[in-house]
Amino acid sequence: MMRGKMQYSIEGKTYLLEPGDSFYYNARQPHLSKCLGKEACEMLVIYFFDEA
């Protein structure tokens, strides 16, 4: 997370991300993200898919 605050909900659990935080999860699972506050959220997202 580079700027702002973001909330992620995955499998009934909620996670709060703030600048400097990193987060790893299986993006194939249903998930919901939400930018919190008035400041825009900025983050670096890297997708990795195992083709095996």
Tens-place pLDDT, residues 7-52: 999 999 999 999 999 999 888 889 999 999 899 999 999 888 777 6
Task: Give the model's pLDDT for residue 52.
Answer: 63
Contact 43, 17 (CB under 8 A): yes
